[in-house]
Structure 1
Amino acid sequence: MNGDSTLDALCDLCGILPRYHDLQGQERITTLETQKALLRANGFDVTSDATIHETLSALRHELENRWFPQEIIIESNKTTPLDFGLGAAWEIHLDDQDTVVAEGRPADHITLPALKSGVYVLTASVSGRIETVTVIVAPKRLPQVQSLTQTDRLWGLNFALYGIRSDRNTGLGDFEDLAEMSEIAGTEGAAFVGINPIHNMGYFDKTAISPYSPSHRGFLNTSYIAIDQIPGLEGGAEPLAFDELRRAVAVQYHDHKHTHNAALETLFGRFQAEADTKAQNAFARFVVNGGAELQTFAQFEVLSKNFGTDWRDWPNDPAVPPKEQLGFHMWLQWVADTQLGRAQTRAVAAGMPLGLYLDLAVGPRRDGAESWCERDTIAQGVSVGAPPDHLSPEGQNWDLAAFAPRKLQAQRYAPLRRILSQTMHHAGVIRIDHVLGLNRSFWLPDDGSPGAYIRKPFEALLAVIKIEAERHNCLVIGEDLGLVPDGFRDTMRGHGFYGYSVLQYERDDHGGFRDPHSGAEQVLSCFATHDTPTVNGFATGRDIDWWAKLGWIDAPEAKHAQARRHDEITAIAHDGDFRTHVHTLLARSNAALVAVQLDDVLGSVEAQNLPGTIDEHPNWRRKYTSPLEGLAHDDRLTATASIMRDAARHNSLKGVPDED
């Protein structure tokens, strides 16, 4: 076998795809340089033909030398005969516990008893040989709307939490605002409230603001802590310190973090001195339950103060901070988790059968806590991105870290399971951003070579998600926009995932919006995302204005695009109110779930984010025009709820039309 053939064989064994087809259907071949970069990212030595050959031989020997498979996936609560055994004695236990839950005597084939959902380790012994098999035991399908809520037509309100104005917050929406928004929406008949990702952004990082570029997805953003709702304390920090931040038209992240952090540090001192025993004990339990992962995360936060927020610039093997320095950052996570849990409790009490709808970002920043805490599992020297598609014709480099598939499998998916559990713990629904990445992921090497796809352990990842969703009674929506492989959506629906249908992209042959009765049922339908124009922005061509302003299109192109958009709006709305028309289409659609943007309820023109920009557009900074206190009596929200109610969308406790 020559050098190129050996490299191709190694790539095939590691899941690196040899080619893909772009938006225009053109075949893109994975270059030799890209192959080597992606293999290095997975931890393999490819410095020479000899090392490539040695690596391939070692991997093949590892596979061929096994008597039993490395990993199997079976259905939970069902007796399962396996197609291997070879007379082995065996026992099985959950991977994080030592207690044996089942065992068997030597036989030609092993038969596993009905097991609860979870990840197990099967140990088989035969002829002096011991092998372990990862056994992923998962339900057949994810929880469904009907099974969780006893209905199949619901709607919810989506908003950017950071943009909520209120008389009591600190210039950035917080978890108390979330709870109050849930109560307002629940009273109007909404079944859920959806928000941007609330993953940790890094306590000392004052530059990162995009919620889709978090520091660690397994921990919470402490900037959302409501300083007047600290468990165990009466009262909060001095509200006058935040007056200017509260009055600002846009979120002032740098100044907010400086002032908010100072308040939190003061409150921690008060908590240590004044908090009641119940709160102190609850915090202590949180630390114990958080285990080594919470301790390691807190270490990162302390080290980022000492050496800077990018761990790649730290000295090698920095000294572990003393335990007394970790307590503050563990306390912050406890406070955030407690307040988020209270928000979910209040949402359900307000009549919402689902409550919070939380977002799981694609990955963490490469300089952040997750890529440091899980560095043994993270692919090195590459970033996650996307090839050119209709959303981004130039392609995208998200500068996010990715789990290396073989490394993640070796840890029985524990890092991902922890992240899923954290996201679902206080949610009735989660959305997985770019769910296509469960099947294959587009990696862009740091060395400048072209990007390429790498296969993921698709079935195993689906099983792990189903396990956590069952444990938390949580619906899962997969954001499936972009270049979607044939059959992908059907496979996901079979496992119980809800698709993500964006009305802006759902057109008929004449350019109008699709007939609401022709769409899929197992989806969440909405008009826009945070990356696309609002209803009013679409109607007025505000997105086209921005393209022209940024020089992406010239003046004649902008004029033509605006004229075409005007014709589209006229044809769609027939001189009626475009916003009402859009919300009526959504309400009457077949979709089990419909999400309405607060931006659209309030008539906002600007989008929350404009992909391809950083400072040119006020991304992730815009506050809502109406304060929270006025939304409870806002006719625009009531009118939107009425449209949903007239289409038989309402929660089980509120929003039912009055009987004559």
Structure 2
Amino acid sequence: MNPIDAKLVTLAKRCRILSQYKDMQGRVHVTSPDTQRALLNSIGVEADSDATVQKSLTKLNAQAKQRQFPEEVIVESGNAFQLAFGEGAAWTLRADDDMADVANGIAGGDISLPPLASGVYELTTRVGDQTEVVRILAAPRRLASVQSLTGVERLWGINLALYSLRSTRNSGLGDYEDLAGMATLAGNIGAGFVGVNPTHNMGFADSSISPYSPSHRGFLNTTHIALDAIPGLEGSRRAHQILAKEASQFALLRASEEVSYQPHKALHCRLMDALFAVFLDEAKDPAPTQLQAFIQDAGPELQRFAEFEALSEVYGSDWRDWPDVRQVEPDPERMQFHMWMQWVADHQLQDTQRRAKAAGLSLGLYLDLAVGPRRSGAESWCERASIAQDVSIGAPPDHLSPEGQNWDLSAFAPSKLQRANYRPFRRILAQTMRHAGVVRIDHVLGLNRSFLIPDNGCPGGYIRQPLESLIAIIKIEAERNNGAVIGEDLGLVPPNFRATMRNHGFYGYSVLQYEKTKTGRFRNPAKGRAQVLSCFATHDTPTVKGYETGCDIKWWQRLGWIDEHQAKSAQRDRTKDFAALTRIADRATDFHSSVHAILARSPASLISIQLDDILGVAEAQNLPGTIDEHPNWRRKYPVRLEDLSKFKGLRQLSDMMTHARPTRKKEALHDFSNS
């Protein structure tokens, strides 16, 4: 290695870029110099040439030399704490939320902090003419458990795709009123939660449909607004007439076998415009007062988001194609419209959670936090100062996609996010958690490291994120919103990662079809972990029916990812797995019952059943690595919401989940091998 390469390696290491990683087969991939330079540039560290590498190293060394105290300290909230530094320093502690003074003093041998409420603080120290700021993260020791929140040790629930719900009253796409109805139904049969895909904002002017590729995770999806349940328009004759005129269009959209996203969105947006005009003319208190309070509480972040939405109506949904809009004033009336829509969505989702709890769901809603925002969308524009540029989050090849994945999503640049006191991340968490009893963080491995793929064609590489700090932020926000947290920990999991997350109170994610030993045998369900959510499938995996019939294998062959010989081999392995799972279930009469009997008898604290599997659907919601080749995010359920209560399989599943006794480790079970 020549001296210049050594300096590049040193700079990359200082900036958290991993020098190598192992893939699913254990092969080592070394991060190339070109990838190192691309990732460094993405986080704002110049590395285009030997000279800029040296300049960046010199700058980092100088900054480190100037500091006497650490940049960040994590403490346990509620307890006094001694910081082993600060001798002779005058110090002031302020809360980051409002910058109000919390404490101050002059350090002797150290700095003594009083018991702090959970939150983020700035500790300003002064020694002579030198001033430094230390970031203090005061977090609870652990996340809340299911038992501490609900008084019971284990719960089961139903997960579904909100967009897929059919009903006699929606506008052709599942909405928040449908979700409230589903929650009531689930509560009546003994479930503890209802989970849905992310409800993040998708962009008013954008045509994207994947809920895992949102425009902004800090705001809500307004296409799920129930048009017939707008607060302030209850009993409005004008509002009723506006909707009644579109009855035939609603009927056509409801009748389609797949979600007609673009016709639905065009109609929905037009009607929201019309209903906003009615709201301005007719709405009486408390609705207008509640709207203004919502806008005031949301602060400049909502204003900034509304500015993006208003500009996107003029210049298009991809801000990277916009002209210089710094001198352009967005239409204030359109901004008001977009803020109103966020209030309506928030009001309806809040009401859904209230009704879910009233129906007996101990946790209520289970909401999903997506990995990142679409690079063309609002969050990537609003939070540019904290986001890595010219790279996308993705994943190397794994069991979900043999070609690897480029998700075209933005990632936070670690140092930039820290300098912002994690505010963008905190806002996103607060929005997702505020109306949920439990939140699932998709691809929670991203808290530890992000696989970034440069736009310039270089191979991807990993950058390490500030794991302990991000965990502290999650614990702070979860405590404020009184909820539990699940970390989806599938894929290339670093050593000890799962143990670390469990120690902080996260629930892991156990997908039955992947619960195998290194020799390919299914693990004994009785020896499974309790601190997990256990399920058979996710939105990215085969459903029970799809697994049984090899639907995913057929798709892989159809797309050319595997040849005929590989497909036959995969189907033979699947047949063995199918038989092994059936043997484990013992007295179950069919594969569907076998799978759910195994889940019901598992020691998992949370058990999730997909509505797809209850209804016997074969196609997965999404096939990773595809966009239009597979009907991703488009399928509707074959049964309407109003008819689900009559569906015999739902009551049978409820009885199984409610009355099953978890299998203890000492109990004898059948052979767990897939041979």
Per the TM superposition, whether the score is higher than 0.5 is yes
- In structure 2, the residue matched to 1:102 is 103
Number of the residue aligned with 1:183: 184
Identify the residue that residue 286 of structure 1 maps to in structure 2. Answer: 294
Q: Does the residue aligned with 1:376 lie in a helix, a strand or coil?
A: helix
Determine if the alignment matches structure 1 residue 396 to structure 2 residue 405: yes
- Equivalent residue, structure 1, for 2:141: 140
Structure 1 segment 531-542 matched on structure 2, within 5 A: 531-542=540-551
Check whether the contact 1:516–1:585 (CA below 8 A) recurs between aligned residues.
yes
Letter of the aligned partner of 2:417 in structure 1?
Answer: L
What displacement does 1:126 show? 2.0
Aligned ranges 1:380-529 → 2 under 5 Å: 380-507=389-516, 513-529=522-538
CA contact (8 A) 2:310 2:331 kept: no
What's the offset of the Cα at 1:556?
A: 3.9
User: 2: CA distance between counterparts of 1:487 and 1:471?
Assistant: 28
Following superposition, the deviation at residue 30 of structure 1 comes to: 1.0
Kept after mapping to 2: 8 A contact 1:202/1:368: yes
* Gap change, CA 1:442 and 1:146, over 3 Å in 2: same
Opposite residue 163 of structure 1, the aligned amino acid is S
The 2-side partners of 1:435 and 1:425 are apart by 19
Structure 1 position 587 matched with structure 2 position 593: no
Kindly tell me: are residues 69 and 570 of structure 1, through their superposed partners in 2, closer, same or farther at Cα, counting changes over 3 Å?
A: closer
The within-5 A match list for 1:192-207 is 192-206=193-207
Residues 431 and 479 of structure 1 are in contact (CA less than 8 Å); yes or no, is this contact kept in structure 2?
A: yes
Write out per-residue CA displacement over residues 73-125 of structure 1, whole angstroms, 9 at most, x where no aligned residue.
Answer: 00000010111112112111111213211112342210101000000011112
Residue by residue over 1:576-604, the C-alpha shift from the partner in whole angstroms, topping out at 9 and shown as x without a partner, is 31111111100110100000000111111
What CA distance in whole angstroms lies between the structure 2 residues aligned with 1:509 and 1:363? 31
Aligned residue runs from structure 1 range 14-25, under 5 A: 14-25=15-26
Equivalent residue number for residue 308 of structure 1: 316
For 2:360 and 2:589, how far apart are their aligned partners in 1?
A: 33
SS at match of 2:14: helix
Please tell me the residue identity of whatever aligns with 2:659.
D
Judge which range, 38-47 or 267-276, deviates more: 38-47
Say whether 1:332 aligns with 2:341.
yes
**1:30 — aligned with what?**
31
Once the two structures are overlaid, the 10-residue window that deviates more, 320-329 or 362-371, is 320-329
Number of the residue aligned with 2:670: none
- Output the amino acid matched with 1:411: A
Q: CA deviation at 1:610?
A: 1.0
1:485-514 Cα offsets, whole Å, 9 max, x none, are 110000000000000000000136885643
For the residues of structure 2 that align with 1:522 and 1:462, how far apart are their CA atoms? 17
> What is the CA–CA distance in structure 1 between the aligned matches of 2:346 and 2:436, rounded to whole Å?
12
The question of 1:210 aligning with 2:218 is answered no
Distance (Å, rounded) in 1 between the aligned partners of 2:578 and 2:397 = 28
Equivalence for 1:365: 374
User: How far off is 1:180 after superposition?
Assistant: 0.5
**RMSD, aligned CA:** 1.5
Q: Runs of 5+ in structure 1 lacking a partner?
A: 650-660
Q: Which amino acid aligns with 1:277?
A: D
Mapping of 1:590-609 within 5 angstroms? Answer: 590-609=603-622
Distance verdict in 2 for CA 1:287–1:557, change over 3 Å: same
After the TM superposition, which residues 160-309 of structure 1 pair with which residues of structure 2 at under 5 Å, given as runs? 160-206=161-207, 208-234=208-234, 236=240, 237-238=243-244, 239-240=246-247, 241-309=249-317
What residue in structure 1 maps to residue 383 of structure 2? Answer: 374
For 1:254 and 1:332, how far apart are their aligned partners in 2? 19
- Larger deviation, residues 522-531 vs 315-324: 315-324
Task: Give the conservation status (yes or no) of the 8 Å contact 2:172–2:264.
Answer: yes
CA distance in 2, matches of 1:283, 1:522: 40
* Counterpart Cα distance in 2 of 1:507 and 1:182: 33
Tell me the distance in 2 between the aligned counterparts of 1:369 and 1:92: 33
Residue in 1 aligned with 2:666?
none
- Which segment drifts farther, 364-373 or 60-69? 60-69
1:622 aligns with 2:623: no
8 A contact 1:384–1:401 mirrored in 2: yes
**Contact preservation (8 Å) 2:394, 2:405:** yes
- Distance in structure 2 (CA, Å) of the matches to 1:509 and 1:71: 40
Contact 1:74–1:135 (Cα < 8 Å) also in 2: yes
Q: Contact (CA 8 Å) 1:524, 1:592: kept in 2 or not? A: yes
Distance 1:7 1:630 in 2: 63
Query: Contact 2:512–2:534 (CA<8 Å) still a contact in 1?
Result: yes
Contact 2:209 2:261 in 1 (8 A): yes
Percent sequence identity over aligned pairs:
57
- Alpha carbons of 1:10 and 1:562: their partners in 2 closer, same or farther (altered >3 Å)? closer
Corresponding residue SS for 2:229:
coil
What one-letter code is carried by the residue in structure 2 that aligns with 1:78?
Answer: N
The residue aligned with 1:612 is: 625
Bigger mean CA offset, 588-597 vs 608-617:
608-617
SS in 1 for 2:499: helix
Q: Alpha carbons of 1:66 and 1:418: their partners in 2 closer, same or farther (altered >3 Å)?
A: same
In 2, are the aligned partners of 1:153 and 1:648 still within 8 Å (CA)? no
C-alpha separation in 1, matches of 2:11 and 2:447: 21
- What is the CA–CA distance in structure 2 between the aligned matches of 1:578 and 1:284, rounded to whole Å? 54
Task: Please say if 1:572 is aligned against 2:581.
Answer: yes
Name the counterpart of 1:653.
none
Unaligned runs of 5+ in 2: 663-675
Q: Deviations over 1:492-540 (max 9, x none)?
A: 0000000000000013688564332110000000000111111111111
1:440-493 per-residue CA deviation (whole Å, 9 max, x = no partner) reads: 111110011111111111110000000000110111100000111110000000
Write the distance in 2 (CA, Å) between the matches of 1:607 and 1:98.
48
1:625-644 to 2 correspondence within 5 Å?
625-644=638-657
Which secondary structure state, in structure 2, belongs to the residue aligned with residue 603 of structure 1?
coil
For residues 324 and 171 of structure 1, the distance between their equivalents in structure 2, rounded to whole angstroms, comes to: 28
Query: Equivalents in 1 of 2:445, 2:578: separation in Å?
Result: 32
Query: CA contact under 8 A between 2:400 and 2:624: conserved in structure 1?
Result: no
Query: How is 1:529-568 mapped onto 2 (pairs within 5 angstroms)?
Result: 529-568=538-577
**TM-aligned CA distance change 1:69 to 1:363, over 3 Å:** same
Corresponding residue for residue 2 of structure 1:
3
Structure 2 contact 37–47 (Cα < 8 Å) conserved: yes
In structure 1, C-alpha distance between the alignment counterparts of 2:615 and 2:475, rounded to whole Å: 36
Q: Check conservation: 2:403, 2:625, Cα contact below 8 A.
A: no
- Structure 2 residue matching 1:517: 3-state secondary structure: helix
Tell me which amino acid in the other structure corresponds to 2:601: R
- Alignment deviations for residues 348-397 of structure 1 (CA, whole Å, 9 cap, x no partner): 00011100000000000100000000011110010001112222222111
The one-letter code sitting in structure 2 at the alignment partner of 1:273 is D
Structure 2 counterpart of 1:532, one-letter code: T
Residues 511 and 568, structure 1, Cα contact 8 Å, conserved in 2: no
CA distance 1:556–1:68, shift in 2 (3 Å): closer
One-letter code aligned to 2:231: P
Separation (CA, whole Å) in 1 of partners of 2:518 and 2:293 = 59
- Counterpart secondary structure, 1:306: helix
Structure 1: distance between partners of 2:490 and 2:641: 32
Q: What is the rounded CA distance, in whole Å, between the counterparts of 1:381 and 1:283 in structure 2?
A: 38
Task: Report the count of equivalent residues.
Answer: 648
TM-score (normalised: structure 1): 0.96
The alignment partner of 1:228 has SS state of helix
CA apart distance, 1:608: 0.8
User: Which secondary structure does the structure 1 equivalent of 2:36 belong to?
Assistant: helix
Match of 1:342 in 2: 351
SS in 1 for 2:84: strand
2:655 alignment partner AA: S
